[in-house]
Amino acid sequence: MGGIAANESEFLEEVCDTESKVIAPKVGLSAPLGATVYSNGINFSVFSRSASRIELLFFDRDDDARPSRITPLDPFTNRTYHYWHVFVPEVRPGQIYAYRACGPFDPSNGLRFDSNKVLLDPYGRAVVIPTNYSREAARQPGTNFATAMKNVVIDVASYDWEGDNPLQIPAARSIIYEMHVRSFTRNPNSGVSETRAGTFAGLIDKIPYLKDLGITAIELLPIFQFDASDCPPGVVNYWGYQPVSFFSPHRTYSSRKDPQGAVDEFRDMVKALHRAGIEAILDVVFNHTAEGKHDGPTLSFRGLDNATYYILDQDRSKYADYSGCGNTLNANHPVVRRMIVDSLRYWASQMHVDGFRFDLASILSRDSTGQCMAAPPVLWDIDSDPVLAGTKLIAEAWDAAGLYQVGSFVGDSWMEWNGRFRDDFRSFFRGECGYVPRIADRLLGSPEIYLRKQREAEQSVNFITCHDGFTLNDLVAYNDKHNESNNDNNQDGANDNRSWNCGFEGPTDDPAIDRLRNRQIKNFLTVTLLSLGMPMILMGDEVRRSQGGNNNNYCHDDESNWFDWTLIEKHADIHRFVKLLIARRVLRSKQRQRQRKNLDQLIREARKAWHGIKPLQPDWSDWSHSLAFGAEIKTDGLGIHFILNGYWEPLQFELPPMESGSTWHRWIDTALDSPNDIVDWRFAPPVGSNIYPVEARSVVVLITKLQQN
């Protein structure tokens, strides 16, 4: 590969060939890693086991063609073990900096040093991106001073939190709303000013909407600095699942232009959310980076210590790819483990984040050869870390190479995205056979999956849709994915969506089809928000947001991803339905948060019964498409009767007999038009019969006041 210094003398000659000022270094400290602010200067420390020399570069502007100052790190005086460190006096917060590293370029042995490339600090707290940033220049031979991302020194201790702390809302009363920072307010119809739209500040402006809806936690798609150009030509990496830094907030999510802006504006957002009683959960990507395959760009980790940071293939010139993104972080290497835990500690302690959702978390179970470990050190480090105690830890318990650990994820405090909840209810409501026993289990918190762990019901994060796949509207409007605009010949995205278009592909003016779609959407929302477990809904599902059938909409910064605020009025019935469901869910959960009972206790102590179209006669056969469930909520003094009809014809359900003086009241019937589809549960109208007709593909919830003994 051209442009790589063949030996150390060439490297030094290249350094001295610049017109830059060289700052006389002081020894500095190996800890903490990153750039640490002191009153009289900055201490820099970076890990590299195999480098022969490290160079610290300072820039006056993010697009400078050359560094303004250089500090070479002496391998004898500025190195302790594998840590390169230096204290540079009179440098202040706001200083732009980066590294270059010299060492062997020997891909067959996993070494990929390139002294021409500008490297990000793995522990950098902020990143600047030149207007002419070039991913290609980081991949091709030659220097890339002017076109490289660089770090900024940040004083993280200067912020006034005004007494704020993470909320630690009990999982039993948590309602998660998965959302994208930019998408939430970028649409011109959001009512947010142009300077704040699509930013952390813009999200602050819309907190009243979230509070009114009843949300207790937002789960943000990745906000770590990512490479938006890591995508096919003609599109943009919009979702952010290509990280370049695990300590820096994404710069373009800030309305401020100063170097400290993204860090402090993120904290402003978290503080404002907390004041509204809403937690901030981050979707974190510790399974790969934006450096891609072996022929990808050198941005940071590859150029500092490739064989440490990545799991290498048997051919060590290439990467093992369990992420589907070209490389895999070597998460259980001690250095990488420490970086991951340090990152989480930073976001929890310095940025007051309330929890983390781990993308493709099963990769964190793999060792340096890619084998799944029985007790992965990094997962136990996270699980047992005292700084992280009380934060919500949510695993996407699978990876792109087929490892699937839903129900068996390692650790005591982890919750899991329950992919089987999603798949089973999707299949049931589109009329597939054999799903009645499965949905019965999902309604009760999936004890088939989780009971052996003796954990609370909220270990199961229940969802029907998420960012990855169809929106709830598109789930009932499309049989097939429509990803042609992604410039990949509709080959990307999942093929198994378990969706059903209700009789017509895409938007329709047929009122009968639209009513059926509305009903199906309410069915999905009802089971998500009323089943045992912690519910999660996707941004915009409460107003039927559509992506036009694109089930992998990661690469579009346009209306297909943005929240359309006119939909609140257009689909006011769905919005109202969700608000009333959440209001009752949160009220019920407040009663249980003090109990701290595990799933096994809840199920054993509950007075419950399964029914079919006749009381106490459930049909568990493969040909069954309906089920009824009765239970008592003693804390509220209520009995509840849950009827699910996944059949394509109406069914008559005989209701369980009542005690003298009691009667059933209709709270929810998804087949009815608004406002009768759901009512304030305190004013639910009486049924007046022991037979309830349940329309095809609908859900009914009846309640009754329990007699006091």
Q: Is residue 115 situated within a structural domain?
A: yes
CB 505 within 8 Å of CB 439: no
Q: Is residue 653 situated within a structural domain?
A: yes
Give the N- to C-terminal CA distance of the chain in Å, as an integer: 83
pTM: 0.94
DSSP character at residue 195? T
Q: Is residue 632 situated within a structural domain?
A: yes
d(CA 686, CA 663): 7
pLDDT of residue 598: 59
Per the rule left: phi > 0, alpha: psi between -120 and 50, beta: everything else, 101 is beta
Q: Where are the alpha helices (DSSP H) in 545-676?
A: 567-570, 572-592, 599-605
List all residues 6 or more positions away from 344 whose beta carbon is below 8 Å from its beta carbon. Answer: 284, 356, 382, 385, 387, 388, 391
Q: Is residue 2 situated within a structural domain?
A: no
Q: Along the chain (709 residues), what's the average pLDDT of each consecutive run of 10 residues?
A: 37 39 70 96 97 97 95 95 95 97 97 97 97 97 97 95 96 95 98 98 98 98 97 94 98 94 97 98 98 98 98 97 97 98 98 98 97 97 96 97 94 94 98 97 91 77 98 98 95 95 97 98 97 96 98 97 98 98 68 52 67 96 96 79 97 90 93 97 92 98 79
Domain end marker among 110, 136, 158: 158
Residue 396 annotated to the active site: yes
The domain total for the chain is 2
Output the domain CATH number for residue 647: 2.60.40.1180
Residue 468 annotated to the active site: no
- The two tokens of residue 130 are 């030149």
pLDDT of residue 605: 58
Domain end marker among 138, 158, 178: 158
**List 354, 359, 456, 669, catalytic entry:** 359
**List 354, 396, 416, 474, catalytic entry:** 396
CB 403 within 8 Å of CB 443: no
Q: Is residue 533 situated within a structural domain?
A: no
The candidate with the shortest Cα–Cα distance to 201, out of 248, 258, 262, 152, is 262
Range of the domain at 61: 8-158
d(CA 652, CA 647): 12
DSSP β-ladder status, 83-89 and 79-80: antiparallel
Q: Where are the alpha helices (DSSP H) in 234-373?
A: 261-275, 301-309, 334-349
Domain end marker among 158, 191, 222: 158
Q: Is residue 148 situated within a structural domain?
A: yes
Output the domain CATH number for residue 53: 2.60.40.10
